Amino acid sequence: MSTNLRLRLISSSTQRDVEVSIRDLIIAGWAGRDPAAVHEHIEELQKLGVRTPQTTPEFYSISASRLTLEPSIQVIGEASGGEVECVLLCTGGKLWVGVGSDHTDRAAEVHGITLSKQICEKPIAPIFWDFDDLRGHWDELELRSFIADAERSLYQKGRLATLLPAKDLFSSRMDGRSTMEGVVMFCGTIPAIGGIRPCRSFELELNDPVLDRTISHRYVCQVLPIVA
């Protein structure tokens, strides 16, 4: 099922607000460049009871309707948390770059990763940059996230140099299609500082130190009770 989102597309010469029709959402997992770091993340999740991936990277197809620009999402129970990720969008025949949170239900993740990702909405910032303006300094871009529950604390921080090139990931999912128009891909996350944990308030950023700009977004979780 496709979904329509009102986004701001910014290039070096123009910026415009457009309504974008998104027909597919793909989540890339285990997308680190360093095999040792990927293995460390796998072991971290194994301790939580999450199965070992069959391949790395691995791709999960999620309903496009899970994407949201809203500052609040509803989650079931207390076991879910965010993960900051670079987000690629293909629209108008071009690639655009934004930031989002692969919010995941950790309790459901032990039963199935695709299930845990489908359960939760995927918040994204409404601003996307032109990929062409970034290709020359892609690895310098930095992801950051903060948990802002009782107090604001840094949760994740790392450069895109630690992840597989997003355009390569995107191209690898053509799957025989003639176009990737209307496709959004989350391109992998970075390690959590102090270990993976749930949250009710999450902040995420994509920083471009070369062009001196940042895309940021914040959302809170409304927790719905689990009734046996």
The dihedral region occupied by 176, where left means phi > 0, alpha psi between -120 and 50, and beta the remainder, is left
Q: Residue range 31-40: average pLDDT?
A: 81
Of the listed ranges 118-132, 167-181, 194-208, the one predicted with least confidence: 167-181
- Mean pLDDT of all residues in the chain? 91
How far is the C-alpha of 11 from the C-alpha of 83, rounded, in Å?
Answer: 26
Q: Could you tell me what percentage of the chain is helix, strand and coil, using 3-state DSSP and rounding each to the nearest 5?
A: 20, 45, 35
Is 142:154 a contact under the CB 8 Å cutoff?
A: no
Task: Answer yes or no: is pLDDT of 37 > 80.
Answer: no
Tell me what pLDDT residue 176 has. 58
Q: Residue range 192-198: average pLDDT?
A: 91
Question: Which letter, b or e, does each residue of 45-68 get, where b requires 16 or more Cβ atoms within 10 Å of its Cβ?
Answer: beeeebeeeeebbebbebebebbb
The dihedral region occupied by 49, where left means phi > 0, alpha psi between -120 and 50, and beta the remainder, is left
> What pTM does this model have?
0.92
Indicate the Cα dihedral angle 40, 43, 44, 49, nearest 10°.
160
Contacts of 23 (CB under 8 A, 6+ apart): 2, 64, 182, 183
Task: Answer yes or no: is pLDDT of 50 > 80.
Answer: no
pLDDT digits (tens, 9 = 90+) for 84-134: 999 999 999 999 999 999 999 988 888 888 888 899 999 999 999 999 999
Confidence of residue 175 (pLDDT cuts 50, 70, 90): low
How far is the C-alpha of 220 from the C-alpha of 228, rounded, in Å?
Answer: 25
Task: Name the helix (H) or strand (E) containing 59.
Answer: strand 58-62
Task: Answer yes or no: is pLDDT of 42 > 80.
Answer: no
Task: Answer yes or no: is pLDDT of 215 > 70.
Answer: yes
CATH topology of domain 3-224: Fumarylacetoacetate hydrolase; domain 2 (3.90.850)
Handedness of CA 106, 108, 114, 120 (dihedral sign): negative
Tell me what pLDDT residue 44 has. 73
pLDDT digits (tens, 9 = 90+) for 133-169: 999 999 999 999 999 998 999 999 999 999 999 988 8
The phi, psi pair for 37, rounded to 5°, reads -70, -40
